[in-house]
Structures are given as C-alpha cells and as structure tokens.
Structure 1
Amino acid sequence: MKRKDPRKILIIRFGSLGDVVLVTPFIDAVRSRYPESSVALAVKGEYEDLFAADSRIDRLFSLGGRTSSGRGAGMYYLLWQVRREGFDAAVDLQRNPRSILLSALCGARSRAGVRTERAGRRRLVQRKVRAELPHVVDRYRAALPQLAEVATDRRPRLVIGDGVRQRADELLAKGGVSEEDMLVGVAPGAGRATKRWPATKFAELGRLLVERANAGVVLVGDSDERGLADEVASAVGGRAIVTAGRTTVGELAAVLARCRVLVTNDSGPMHVATGVGTPVVAIFGATTPELGFAPLGERDIIVSRSLECRPCSLHGSERCPVGTFECMEGIEAQEVFEKTLSLIGSTYEPARLPEMSACRPH
C-alpha cells in the first residue's frame, strides 16, 4: 500500500435498486486503484443480499436492516457502526440528507461526493436541450479523480450467492420450471405511471412469446407490483408464473440470471438483469436514455418513440402532461416481440411449463 492510500474506504449509496446496482463498476475501479485497501458499502437493508456474497466488499452496512438483536437498524445505529471502523475516506454517491449526514459524521478525513447533474437534467426536461448527460456510472467514477486512469468495465456486475441461487431455483421449480426451459423475464412495473408500458400490451407480448416463441414467461417485480404482475399473467393465459413480491432483490437477480432475455420498463430490474449478464429489451416512455440511466449491456435494445415532448420528467409522473401517452401507447407488442426474438436467437428448446393455474408458486 502506498503511503497516502486510504486504508479503509466507505462507499455510500442507500438506494434505489438500479442506482445501487450501478455502483458496482465504481467498486471495481476502487478495487483496481486501491488493491490493498478495505472497501465497505452502505446500502438500505433491502439490498443487503445483493452484496452478501460479493468478495469485492469487505464490510457491508445497512440502513433499516436488522441488528443482531432483531431490531431495525436506524440512522443512529448505522452512524455508531461506521464510526467504530475508523474510515480514512468516504465517497457519497447518493447526495441526499441521510447520505450527507453519514459522510460528514463517519469520521473519515477525506470525503468526496457525486455531482447530481440536476441543472443539466432540468435543461433536458424543461427546455428539451438535446445534449446527452454523462451516464450515472461515469458520474460515480468522476467523484474520485484518482480513478481517471483506471481501466475497468463500465457494465455492472453482481455476484449471486449459492444460497440465494438455490432459493430462486426452488421458487421457479415450484412453478413447474425445469432447468432446460427457455424463460423470458417480464418486468411490467416502474416507479411512475408514465414509465410503464400498458399492462394490456405486456399481456399481448406474453401471449406472443408463449404461442410463437414457445417461451415461458416469468413476471418479476417487488411487492408493490404484485397485483400488476398477476394481472398480466392472468391475461397471458398460461405458461406464465409470477415471482413479483415473492423474492428478495438477490433472489430477483438469480431469477433473471435464469432468463434468456428481460423485457422491462426503465426500472431497477433492467440494471439487475445487466448485472447478471441477461440482455434486456428496455421500453422508455416519459424518460430517455440521455438522462444517464440507459442499460449498459452489449446486446441491450432500447425501444422508444421520438417525440418532441420527451423527456417530460426526470423520473416519470403519474399522468401524461399532454394527455396522449403516445410515448408508450405508440409502441406495439409486435415490435417488442420481434426485438425480443432477436435476442433469444433462432436455436432454443421449447419451454414445457404447465398451465398457469398449476404453476404459481405459493
């Protein structure tokens, strides 16, 4: 270790799912630049099992996770934990009040933070200035100028633990999925309504995948998206199973690793899929890739409509500002199916999933 290199480095990114996944290239770069340093990561408790088996991280802290006594780990407990570690450097990749507080009070002599690019994103949304903003992966990296000359992959990379993989395999097996079945993941949810392709179109896509590609369809998402996933699966009419709301985020990653392709809105699962090497067909509506959150896989495909009103917001909204929702309504299931088929490839074994009524895991 060089004399001035930090012994212990704390990286802070509490959420959300996609943003946390996109921290992994930064971790790779830090590891490459400081191979003898100890690297710690602070995330929300719900993201712990994404990193529990990741050897790149020496110490994992969680906000809102569980302490050894079973109590919730709040901000004060987290501060107490990190201050005991004696960190030399802290990098805040979130820049919200809680992450700023943790960075300021963790005891690190050296502190750095990511630039939020709020002004540039406002210009793109409000004035439709057609300038591509730096991808969030590159903004994270720029938080530490010492990483400028480090050559590492920009793509996120997740490590799935054996236990997490086994639980995901068991969940799929309960739904009638065998190891030989060809699966397509479908993530119909997103944080805001204008980022969601309509459920009826996802259902139409699901039927095309089942009937014309002999694929099994796996509906993924969090507990808030369970109802939406059930709605789509019911409309598909068979050979569709729902794992939304039944998995941790680590198990979600393991399920997506089993899929040949993920069809998704601009949402967290999009980046999780890239992190496990599964190509995505990403449907963008209110938001655009130029805002800095495009998927980074080599084979990923983005489907969108070129409209003067896009992007209409930074993170989507609950209603279309012009009342037409053309950015999503104008994308047909047949087009998305053809893009998906191009990623599946021409050689695959037909899925042998039973009918939906018999294959829902409980």
Structure 2
Amino acid sequence: MSEILITRFSALGDLVTLEPMLRALRTFHRDDTITFLTSGIGEALYGERFERCLAYPQRSSGRWRQAGELKRQLEALTPAGRFERVYDIQASTLSLLTALRLRKGRLVNQSTRLSEKLMGRKARGLTTPELLRAAGFPEERIDAYWSQPASRTIALPVPEAEAARFEEQFAARARPVAVIAPGASERWSSKQWGEARFAELAVRLDAAGYTVAVIGSQWEQAAAAQIVERLPEALDFTARTGIRELVGLLSRASLFVGNDSGPAHLAAGVALPTVTLFGPTGEMHCAGRLPYRGEHACLTPHDIPCHPCYKPVCPTERECLASIPVDEVLATALAIARPSPPPLR
C-alpha cells in the first residue's frame, strides 16, 4: 500500500468536469491511501471517495510560505512523511511549489507545458489516459479501462443522506420539482438572465404542474425574493445549502434551469436535465457538449453580434440574454424534463 497525493483546488465547474479523472485515479490506486489536497468545495464533492481530504484556503500572496505550510501539514498525515506518487492536476504556482518541496517518489503534472502555465498562459492539460501513462501504468490496462463509456462519463457521487432528506421533503408536494438558479458568480453580472424573467418562468412552470425550488448563495437572495413574491408556493433554498446538500437536492429534482454557472454543472453531474442560458460566454461550455449523463440544452442569444464577448460586466444591459424569451426557455425545459428522479439505492 502506497501513499498517493492528488492536488486540485478549484474551481467548482472544473472540479465537476474532472470527476472521470479523479475516479480513474481512485480505480488505478484502489489499494493505496489517497490524500486529496483541495478546496472546501472539492472536499464536499469528493470527501467520501478518498481516505483523506485536506481543504486548504488559498491566499492571494505568500505562495512560498503557503507551500511550506502545506508541506508540513501533508507530511504529518503520512506515517513516513513521504508520498510515493504526487499528481498535480492544478498545475499552479502554489501546487507546483508544494509538490517540489514534498518528500516523494514520482511527480506527475497535468499541464503539458508547465512553463506557460506558470506565466499565466493557457496550456493544454493531459487527458486521463495521458496522465495514467505518465504515472507509469501499463498501456493495455489504461486502454481496457478508458474504452468503457462509463469511465469517460461525468457522474458525481450523490450523498445519500442529503438526497433522502430532500426526497422526503419534495414528496410532500406530490409534484415533480423544477430547480431555478437565477444567479451566477458575483463577478459575472453579465451572465444573469434577469430576476423578472426567472420569476415569470417560475409562475409558468407552476402552472405546468411543477414545484419550483430556487437555489443560490447569499448573492441570489434578492432574486429569490422576487421569484417568491410572484410565486409564494416556491421553495427558497438560497443561502441555505452547502455543496453536499445542493448535490442531494439536485439529484431528487426533475429539471434545472439557470445561467451559465457552477450549479448547472452540479445538476448535469447528477444526470438532472438542464437548460442553461448563455450570454457573454460561448455554448462550448454547455453540459450538452460534455460527457454528462441525461439530456441538456443550451439556449443562446438571437442575432446579437457581440456574443460571445466574455466580459464579466455587460456594457449593453445584457441585450444578449434579453433576446432569449421566456416562451423558448419554458418550451425547452418541458421538452427535456424527466418525470421523476431515479430511485435511491
């Protein structure tokens, strides 16, 4: 049995889409002890998959000092103070400095061109088979594993206790649940379709026979209040769920509608049908173009020449998203919604 370290701090969407790679590393190191160095989000998503999780709050300065702190904490976790293999799938300055200072055997870095990555330039990351080859696993074993479609599909682990709690709560409504996520990250105001449109959508989903549940952080509480004002029967979960609870909630719903944001990837990660609205960003980020299970639709602006602009703040009052009508969102959502979630184990 060997000590293995995997490092990946952020971000939410990336942590979700890396699920097949993390599952592959778990499979290929089935008999080893794995420590996962990550963020609080990563711990919430994958804490039960690995023997140890170290959630480290990164700071914007003092990378050398932080690397020293991590070295001490990580080596204290292992009986011999050493890792046989270190997988750096963050490929950042902090993760590299930490890996270089650790007592270790082989270091496997996901970045194909680390020098460019450290200078802030985009660098292609190794695919899962490439990462496993770099780690020294036999080619035939890698091919046999990766040839299975399930190995390449994103399938987030669902926390059963949280899922069971929401299943019981939703069962009392005796209607399928449609989840609405009206926000985006705090710095991406340009991604927001708008509270009034989401409120109108909620009313019409209710009329179509759905219980509407609103999710988000504290930044979405004002938007949720506007939705609940239009539809008092809606369930407001904004700022009331952590990542584990949110995954459990989404796994028990029938439909998700939201902006291009992390919750859309969480929903797709548990095979919940999703409708994602794209304004400043391109539809190549849509769940339907990634190896998720279930049905996923992306709706894009109509005849807006500046789309996609990738600007966090829109100079034109989000005319791109305003061009997507409620009628289109509703029709798309009703077409792909599932009647009910799959049974819990």
When normalised by structure 1's length, the TM-score is 0.74
Structure 2 counterpart of 1:326:
319
Q: Supply the distance in 1 between the matched residues of 2:131 and 2:33 (Cα, whole angstroms).
A: 18
Report whether the alignment pairs 1:45 with 2:71: no
**2:178 counterpart of 1:184:** yes
- Identity fraction in percent: 25
**Could you tell me which of 82, 85, 100 is aligned with 2:74?**
82
Alignment of 1:200 onto 2:196: yes
Q: Distance in 2 between matches of 1:184 and 1:203?
A: 13
1:159 aligns with 2:153: no
Aligned partner of 1:266 in structure 2 is 260
In structure 2, stretches of 5+ residues that fail to align are 59-65, 341-345
Match of 1:311?
A: 308
What is the Cα deviation at residue 301 of structure 1?
Answer: 1.0
- In 1, the alpha carbon distance for the partners of 2:307 and 2:106 equals 40
Are the structure 2 counterparts of residues 106 and 230 from structure 1 closer, same or farther at C-alpha, using a change threshold of 3 Å? farther
* Partner Cα separation in structure 2 for residue 116 and residue 328 of structure 1: 36
SS of residue in 1 equivalent to 2:327: helix
Select 2:297's aligned residue among 278, 301, 307: 301
Deviations 1:153-188 (A, max 9, x none): 333222233443355457xx3xx8627431001111
Decide whether aligned partners of structure 1 residues 91 and 309 sit closer, same or farther in structure 2, where only a CA change above 3 A counts.
farther
Aligned to 1:25: 20
Letter in 2 for 1:341: L
Structure 1, unmatched stretches of 5+, are 2-6, 66-73, 125-132, 349-362
- Distance in structure 2 (CA, Å) of the matches to 1:228 and 1:103: 43
Letter in 1 for 2:220: E
3-state secondary structure, aligned to 1:10: strand
- Partner of 2:264, secondary structure, is helix
Q: CA–CA distance in 2 between the matches of 1:184 and 1:200?
A: 17
When residues 160 and 327 of structure 1 are mapped into structure 2, their CA distance, relative to the original with a 3 A threshold, is same
Greater mean alpha carbon deviation, residues 297-306 or residues 141-150 = 141-150
CA contact (8 A) 2:68 2:98 kept: no
The answer for the alignment partner of 1:221 in structure 2 is 216
Q: Is the 8 A contact 1:91 1:111 kept in 2?
A: yes
Does the 8 Å contact 1:83/1:106 carry over to 2?
yes
Of stretches 10-19 and 326-335 in structure 1, the one that deviates more from structure 2 is 10-19
3-state SS of 2:54 partner: strand
Cα separation, 1, equivalents of 2:68 and 2:43: 18
What secondary structure, in the 3-state scheme, does the structure 1 residue paired with 2:104 have?
coil
Distance 1:159 1:297 in 2: 13
**Residue matched to 1:344:** 337
Match for 2:238 among 240, 244, 250? 244
Match of 1:68 in 2: none
Query: Do the aligned residues in 2 keep the contact of 1:283 with 1:304 (CA within 8 Å)?
Result: yes
Contact residue 261 and residue 278 of structure 1 kept, 8 A: yes
Deviations 1:89-146 (Å, cap 9, x if unpaired)? 2222223333333333333332233349999xx999xxxxxxxx98x8x756654445
Question: Counterpart of 1:358?
Answer: none
Q: CA RMSD in A?
A: 3.4
- State the TM-score, normalizing by the size of structure 2: 0.77
Question: Does the residue aligned with 2:38 lie in a helix, a strand or coil?
Answer: strand
| Count of residues in correspondence between the two structures | 310
CA contact (8 A) 1:185 1:259 kept: yes
Secondary structure of 1:153's counterpart equals: helix
CA distance in structure 1 between the aligned counterparts of 2:286 and 2:297, rounded to whole angstroms: 16
The CA distance in 2 between the partners of 1:198 and 1:189, in whole Å, is: 8
The residue type paired with residue 152 of structure 2 is R
Q: What is the aligned counterpart of 1:112 among 102, 108, 112?
A: 108
Counterpart residue number, 1:95: 91
For 1:140 and 1:96, the matched residues in 2 are separated by: 18
Q: CA deviation at 1:189?
A: 1.1
CA contact (8 A) 1:93 1:140 kept: no
Q: Find the aligned partners of 1:233 and 1:140 in 2 and give their Cα distance.
A: 44
Work out the CA distance in 1 between the residues paired with 2:35 and 2:10. Answer: 16
- Which whole-Å CA distance do the structure 2 matches of 1:244 and 1:289 have between them? 26
Contact 2:274 2:296 in 1 (8 A): yes
Does the alignment pair 1:59 with 2:52? yes
Deviation at 1:214, TM superposition (A): 1.2
| Whole-angstrom distance in 1 between the partners of 2:4 and 2:159 | 24
What whole-Å deviation, never above 9, does each CA across 1:300-335 have from its counterpart, x for those lacking one?
11111365423212xx50224xx2533211101111
Q: Using CA pairs under 8 Å that are at least 6 residues apart, name the structure with larger relative contact order, 1 or 2.
A: 1
Q: Which residue number in structure 2 is paired with residue 70 of structure 1?
A: none
Contact 1:61 1:78 in 2 (8 A): no
Deviations 1:322-355 (A, max 9, x none): x25332111011111111101225x67xxxxxxx
| CA distance in structure 1 between the aligned counterparts of 2:260 and 2:309, rounded to whole angstroms | 14
